[in-house]
């Protein structure tokens, strides 16, 4: 019987400790699964698929290859500058 994940069930779990040089990432997120597969194919010595279950995959990755980015919220000035730039680009695109 196939199990279909709903969006709220597509979790990603990352396990690591200070001792090991690798980390384990388990995910059901399709975008992340594709990115991990591509990375593992390109760099097999740094990342490898350990297991695949129904809808989830587990990868072992060198710890120094994984990062977490925390981004601050955009300021209103930055948003308005980006909005004006996109409006300008869209007007040029309408001519073609």
**pLDDT digits 0-9 by tens, 51-79:** 998 889 999 999 999 988 898 888 999 89
List, in order, residues 6 or more apart from 55 with CB less than 8 Å away. Answer: 3, 4, 5, 28
| Ranges of each domain in the chain | 1-66
Rg, the chain, Cα only? 19
Please give the helix or strand (H or E) that residue 92 lies within, else none. helix 76-95
Q: What residues form DSSP beta bridges with 23?
A: 61
More confident residue, 96 or 4: 4
Q: What residues form DSSP beta bridges with 51?
A: 58
Which residue is associated with the tokens 């279950």?
53
pLDDT > 90? residue 35: yes
**pLDDT digits 0-9 by tens, 79-92:** 999 999 999 888 86
Whole-structure pTM value? 0.69
């Amino acid at each position: 019987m196939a199990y279909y994940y709903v969006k709220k069930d597509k979790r990603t779990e990352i396990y690591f400790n200070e001792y090991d040089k690798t980390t384990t990432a388990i995910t059901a997120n399709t975008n992340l699964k594709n990115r991990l597969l591509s990375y593992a194919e390109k760099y097999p010595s740094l990342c490898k698929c350990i297991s695949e279950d129904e809808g989830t995959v587990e990868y072992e990755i060198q710890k120094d290859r994984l990062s977490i980015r925390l981004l601050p919220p955009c300021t209103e000035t930055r948003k308005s500058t980006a909005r004006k730039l996109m409006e300008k680009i869209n007007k040029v695109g309408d001519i073609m």
